[in-house]
């Protein structure tokens, strides 16, 4: 629409005919977001007419009028409509439409207007003089006082099937929360003297089911239409957590004093005087009657505080830590009392400090969700979402289940404390285990994973697996800090482990072992008569003490006592061995047949070629070079088998194969031996790391360490090794 048509448009907007007004305002909503058109429209008195349409019309005419005003505010124009004596009536009219009007197109426009109205207090320039109460939540307070069900109905719209309406409702809630906590003046709308008003307002929204509604949206499939308001709500949740943490616990404040007193009473300090049915209320009445005649010197220490001045111990976690602790005690009062009773029966050094554990879990969650990084994270998230499909990793619905995660994390802390047999000095170690547990369970949880499953995982996570994760993380941290040094240490330890395993394998050969001996095939001589030697099914082999000869002999049966070297009539000189060929296969004959190619392992010396592979079975064949008498002047001596061993099991085959190879100064090749080498070297590294103390890391080198001594009085042949 052209600017020249504005006078005619205003005439039709002011018409008494509903059809003319409806058509005119329909055209207006599509043109008013042009700043040049909007400027002429406002200067021609269009705001007065538009306000009258909103106040008096209904149906589609009202919906188009609301949409027109919303689009005008989007281009940051038309704010004068909310100033003056009649501004309150307009705001009350919009609030009334949200409360009483069921039409979706009207609700969408009305909420868009309120979003702009509330949010304008944050975007208004500081030098601009505004009438107090014109924008922000202050502008809504009179209308909300008339319609107290306003917040409840707005939160109900979060369940709407219309995604645009749902998004507008969430944007309105975001604007209200942002305005409530944004001002330094303290309260909702920046009201002075109402420093805790914002906290009461947030609690009111939470009591109306806000958290559950947004949590369901975060787990739903409608992220595409709600991504930005959901991310903004997620960011505001972090702002609230940060703001609660920044509130210092002060016993001069009545609400803080009441919270601490509630903790004390919930612990049943006079439980021994109760008959089991009085409960906390009875304790409170009894205390009121007796007054403060007695003072328990362990009043706060028995709850898990380090001192008798609990307010000081909330310095790190702030009021957020107190909220988490009191919320846990309120919801688990019986369990809290039983836990304290159980801890009181233990030695003082073995008691789990409940209060300290609660504060530790609070800070673990605080760090896990990176609450202090919310602003940068939001900017990054919004940039990622522009024109793209939402990334599930940006959405963290479990952040909204803070209280339940804190309770589950605290129970996990108690479980770890008990399972590890921890003592007071081990508190930080248990806290670190819980931190890793939360990183693993909560951090790896998908967007759609229910909080109930997360709670179960926190309670059922295997402790041994958790310790493995801890060691892996420790390795990674050391790799980052001391990568080059660790590489050198690992190489040294690997060499030491290889020597250790070599000695173990060689000692297996020194001890000797029994081997089976299969039935040989019939051999035919010149007269074609089969020739058979006396079959002896057992072979015993043993390495000599000087490790130079391998002695062996065949026996008809296994002897009760292993034979000595003097009973072993045959021997092999290790210096004559050219190669060791092995076929170490699985026990199953079918598997052995199918994996013949993969399972055959051979090593060769002097570049000798192996003979054709034998029947797939578990056996070790030792080869040696022999003279080929049939071919005079042969270029190379022929390799011949001199001894074949059939181990009884896979482990024995691994011991003898790698033992023989190591005697020949070759590397082991079986998985079992290599696994043993890795195990020994890794344990050696862990033992060395355990010897590194934190105070040694930060204290620096000892005095005089690294100083090169003077060479005074020394000749050239004497030197220092550094």
Residues 241, 328 share a domain: no
Residues 329, 222 share a domain: no
- Is there a domain that residue 500 lies in? no
Residues 166, 23 share a domain: yes
- Is there a domain that residue 284 lies in? no
| Structural domain for 99, as ranges | 3-246
Residues 39, 23 share a domain: yes
Instruction: Give pLDDT, residue 86.
Output: 76
Cβ atoms 92, 136 nearer than 8 A: no
Q: What is the pTM of this model?
A: 0.68
Three-state secondary structure call for residue 715: coil
Q: How far apart are CA 64 and CA 58, in angstroms?
A: 10
pLDDT at 293 over 50: no
Instruction: Give pLDDT, residue 382.
Output: 57
Residue 462: both structure tokens together: 């295997």
Cβ atoms 180, 137 nearer than 8 A: yes
Cβ atoms 681, 497 nearer than 8 A: yes
How many domains are contained in the chain? Answer: 3
pLDDT at 504 over 60: yes
Instruction: Give pLDDT, residue 389.
Output: 61
Q: Quick: pLDDT tens for 218-248.
A: 988 877 778 889 999 999 999 999 999 999 9
Q: Quick: pLDDT tens for 515-537.
A: 998 877 655 444 444 555 677 89
Q: Quick: pLDDT tens for 166-197.
A: 999 999 999 999 888 875 444 444 433 345 67
Residue 366: both structure tokens together: 């605080």
Residues 318, 199 share a domain: no
Percent of the chain's residues with pLDDT above 90: 41
- Is there a domain that residue 348 lies in? yes
Better-predicted residue by pLDDT, 631 or 545? 545
Residues 207, 263 share a domain: no
Q: Quick: pLDDT tens for 21-67.
A: 899 989 888 888 888 988 988 888 889 999 999 999 889 999 999 99
Closest of 238, 295, 242 to residue 269, by C-alpha: 295
Residues 320, 240 share a domain: no
Residues 202, 63 share a domain: yes
CATH number at residue 600: 2.30.29.30
- Is there a domain that residue 467 lies in? no
- Is there a domain that residue 595 lies in? yes
The residues pairing with 583 across neighbouring beta strands, listed in sequence order, are 600, 619
Instruction: Give pLDDT, residue 251.
Output: 87
Q: Quick: pLDDT tens for 619-632.
A: 899 999 865 544 55
Instruction: Give pLDDT, residue 1.
Output: 62
- Is there a domain that residue 430 lies in? yes
Instruction: Give pLDDT, residue 617.
Output: 60
The CB-side HSE value for 234 (13 A sphere, CA atoms) comes to: 28
CATH number at residue 131: 1.25.10.10
- Is there a domain that residue 496 lies in? no
Residue 166 CB contacts under 8 Å (≥ 6 apart), including other chains? 157, 158, 159, 160, 217, 222, 225, 226
Residues 190, 89 share a domain: yes
Q: Reduce the secondary structure of 252-317 to three states and give it as a string.
A: CCHHHHHHHHHHHHHCCCCHHHCCCCCHHHHHHHHHHHHCCCCCCCCCCHHHCCCCCCHHHHCCCC
Instruction: Give pLDDT, residue 126.
Output: 44
Instruction: Give pLDDT, residue 606.
Output: 38
Residues 184, 261 share a domain: no
Residues 225, 86 share a domain: yes
Residues 215, 84 share a domain: yes
- Is there a domain that residue 144 lies in? yes
Q: Quick: pLDDT tens for 109-120.
A: 999 999 999 888
Percent of the chain's residues with pLDDT above 70: 79
């Amino acid at each position: 629409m052209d600017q020249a048509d504005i006078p005619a448009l205003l005439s039709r907007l002011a018409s008494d005919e509903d059809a003319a007004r409806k058509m005119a305002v329909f055209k207006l909503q599509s043109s008013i977001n042009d700043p040049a058109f909007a400027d002429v429209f406002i200067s021609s008195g269009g705001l007065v007419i538009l306000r009258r349409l909103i106040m008096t019309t209904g149906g589609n005419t009202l919906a188009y009028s609301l949409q027109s005003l919303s689009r005008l505010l989007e281009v940051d124009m038309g704010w004068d409509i909310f100033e003056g004596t009649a501004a309150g009536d307009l705001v009350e009219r919009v609030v009334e439409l949200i409360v009483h009007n069921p039409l979706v197109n009207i609700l969408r426009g009305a909420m868009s207007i309120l979003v702009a109205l509330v949010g304008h207090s944050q975007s208004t320039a500081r030098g601009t003089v505004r009438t107090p109460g014109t924008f922000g939540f202050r502008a809504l307070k009179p209308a909300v006082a008339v319609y107290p069900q306003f917040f409840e109905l707005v939160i109900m719209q979060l369940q709407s099937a219309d995604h645009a309406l749902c998004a507008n409702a969430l944007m309105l809630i975001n604007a209200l929360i942002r305005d409530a906590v944004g001002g330094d003046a303290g309260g909702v709308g920046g009201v002075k003297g109402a420093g805790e008003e914002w906290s009461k307002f947030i609690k009111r929204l939470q009591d109306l089911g806000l958290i559950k509604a947004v949590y369901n949206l975060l787990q739903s499939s409608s992220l595409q239409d709600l991504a930005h308001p959901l991310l903004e709500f997620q960011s505001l949740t972090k702002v609230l957590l940060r703001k609660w943490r920044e509130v210092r616990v002060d016993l001069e404040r009545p609400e803080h004093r009441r919270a601490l007193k509630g903790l004390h009473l919930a612990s049943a300090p006079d439980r021994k005087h109760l008959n089991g049915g009085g409960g906390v209320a009875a304790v409170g009445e009894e205390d009121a009657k007796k007054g403060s005649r007695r003072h328990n010197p362990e009043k706060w220490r028995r709850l898990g505080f380090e001192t008798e001045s609990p307010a000081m111990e909330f310095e790190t976690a702030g009021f957020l830590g107190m909220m988490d602790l009191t919320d846990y005690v309120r919801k688990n009062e019986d369990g809290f009392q039983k836990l304290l009773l159980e801890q009181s029966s233990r030695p003082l050094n073995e008691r789990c400090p409940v209060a300290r554990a609660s504060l530790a879990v609070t800070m673990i969650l605080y760090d896990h969700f990176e609450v202090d990084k919310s602003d940068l994270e939001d900017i990054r998230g919004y940039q990622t979402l522009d024109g793209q499909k939402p990334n599930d990793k940006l959405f963290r619905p479990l952040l909204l289940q803070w209280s339940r995660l804190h309770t589950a994390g605290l129970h996990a802390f108690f479980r770890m404390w008990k399972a590890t047999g921890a003592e007071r000095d081990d508190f930080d170690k248990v806290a670190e285990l819980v931190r890793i547990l939360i990183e693993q369970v909560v951090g790896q949880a998908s967007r759609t994973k229910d909080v109930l499953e997360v709670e179960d995982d926190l309670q059922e996570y295997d402790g041994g697996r958790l310790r493995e994760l801890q060691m892996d993380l420790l390795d990674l941290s050391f790799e980052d800090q001391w990568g080059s040094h660790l590489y050198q240490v690992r190489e040294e330890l690997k060499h030491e482990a290889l020597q250790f395993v070599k000695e173990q394998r060689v000692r297996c050969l020194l001890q000797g072992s029994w081997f089976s001996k299969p039935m040989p095939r019939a051999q035919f001589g010149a007269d074609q008569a089969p020739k058979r030697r006396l079959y002896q099914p057992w072979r015993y082999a043993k390495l000599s003490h000087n490790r130079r000869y391998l002695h062996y002999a065949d026996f008809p049966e296994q002897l009760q006592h292993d034979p000595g070297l003097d009973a072993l009539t045959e021997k092999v000189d290790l210096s004559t061995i050219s190669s060791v060929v092995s076929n170490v296969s699985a026990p199953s004959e079918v598997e052995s047949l199918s994996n013949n190619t993969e399972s055959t392992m051979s090593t060769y010396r002097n570049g000798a070629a192996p003979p054709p592979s034998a029947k797939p079975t578990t056996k070790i064949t030792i080869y040696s070079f022999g003279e080929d008498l049939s071919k005079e002047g042969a270029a190379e001596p022929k390799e011949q088998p001199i001894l074949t061993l059939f181990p009884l099991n896979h482990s024995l085959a691994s011991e003898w194969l790698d033992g023989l190879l190591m005697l020949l100064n070759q590397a082991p090749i079986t998985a079992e031996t290599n696994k043993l080498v890795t195990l020994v070297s890794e344990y050696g590294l862990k033992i060395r790391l355990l010897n590194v103390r934190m105070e040694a890391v930060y204290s620096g080198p000892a005095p005089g360490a690294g100083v090169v001594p003077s060479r005074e009085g020394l000749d050239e042949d004497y030197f220092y090794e550094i």
